[in-house]
Amino acid sequence: GAVVSQHPSRVICKSGTSVKIECRSLDFQATTMFWYRQFPKQSLMLMATSNEGSKATYEQGVEKDKFLINHASLTLSTLTVTSAHPEDSSFYICSARGSNTGELFFGEGSRLTVL
């Protein structure tokens, strides 16, 4: 099946710093990728839709200036959490549609801890 890779899997940073998370589709091209956030014991919340070559579409309540998304190629989308604060600590997961069946392939997730 299609593979989506995320990096880093874990990151710890100080409050006020910025963190970049990469999401790559390894064996297919993804014109659209999706970024989710998941807090402990809660479900995945869609943050934004990342579109190759154009601006991301953000969900209501998600600050686009805080969560910068870049989808510069058909195999790479990045999420940058700018000026991170402890409340941004969460599990961030990306996904991409791999086929015409509509299923999403998810990365392994990136656990961000902001001290």
Partner 1 sequence: SQKIEQNSEALNIQEGKTATLTCNYTNYSPAYLQWYRQDPGRGPVFLLLIRENEKEKRKERLKVTFDTTLKQSLFHITASQPADSATYLCALSPGGNNDMRFGAGTRLTVKP
Footprint on this chain of partner 1 (rule: CB under 8 A): 4, 6, 32, 34, 36, 42-46, 49, 91, 93, 95, 97, 101-109, 111
C-beta closer to partner 1: residue 24 or 107: 107
CB of 16 to partner 1, least distance (A): 27
CB of 110 to partner 1, least distance (A): 10
C-beta closer to partner 1: residue 19 or 98: 98
User: 112: part of which helix (H) or strand (E)?
Assistant: strand 110-114
Q: What are phi and psi of 88, to 5 degrees?
A: -85, -5
Q: Which structure tokens are listed for 65?
A: 């200036």
C-beta closer to partner 1: residue 57 or 82: 57
DSSP string, 3-39: -EEEE-SEEEE-TT--EEEEEEESSS--SEEEEEEE-
